[in-house]
A = this chain, B = another copy of it.
Amino acid sequence: MSQNIYDQQDFFEKYSELPRSVKGLDGAPEWPHLQSFLPDLTGLRVLDLGCGFGWFVRWAKEHGAETVHGVDISQNMLDRARGMTEDGKHDGITYQRADLDELRLPEGDRGSYDVVFSSLAFHYLEHLPELVGKVHGALKPKGRLVFSVEHPIFTAPSTQGMQVNPETGRKYWPLDDYQKEGLRVTNWLANGVRKQHRTLATYINILLSAGFELTDFHEWHPSPEELAEHPSWDTEIVKPTFLLIGATKK
């Protein structure tokens, strides 16, 4: 079972203040690149795993998707997502509260989706191989899985946090335990946030084993223009935080 940190009040309140919570997709610097992995959604059936406030669910509907089904573990987030769905403009949107580690999709959904999307949710899951197998079953042939996770270089260290070399003044990321997969407990927004570290090889092999072809792969970093506008993003040059992947059902 996954931790439902988003229904813990202190975490939820701080999360709600992040740019990606306030501004939606435009507040997520990696979104333009992730979006480039998506097909034209016109007339497609879309599933969003870990939909949060529903920013992508609404965006997909507004960009022509026929139906969009959003799944999230957090009642707080689904309540707010439902509150932002305007009648008429968002017909065809459905929401489901579920732990992705124990997801059950309706039997009728088998082989029915064109696109499965997930933003920064999979690294919370203990049973990702099982979920990716369910996603493969839920997709039509040649269907697309497009997702982001926290990068394994980011999730690996026993103690996460950028360091500065006192002699050179240079920032570095003290990587360790890369090959020790499993639970990491971090203090991001709240104490005791539970994540699952997996290596890059494990992410890729979960996809290949399930029957996907890897088609898109990006380790997000700011462009020179973005870096000039947001100097603090220089930490993304030191080490990547976001891993973006696109795959096609074979």
Contacts and interface: CB of A to CB of B under 8 A. Distances in A.
Interface of A: 153, 157-158, 163, 165, 170-180, 199-201, 204-205, 208, 213-219, 221, 236-240
A173 B171 contact: no
Contact of A176 (B214, B221, B239): B239
B179 A201 contact: no
Contact of A179 (B157, B176, B177, B221): B221
A192 to B, nearest CB: 21
Contacts of A205: 217
A218 B201 CA distance: 5
A174 B173 contact: yes
Contact of A170 (B158, B201, B204): B158
Contacts of A165: 174
A177 B237 CA distance: 6
B215 A179 contact: no
Contacts of A177: 237-238
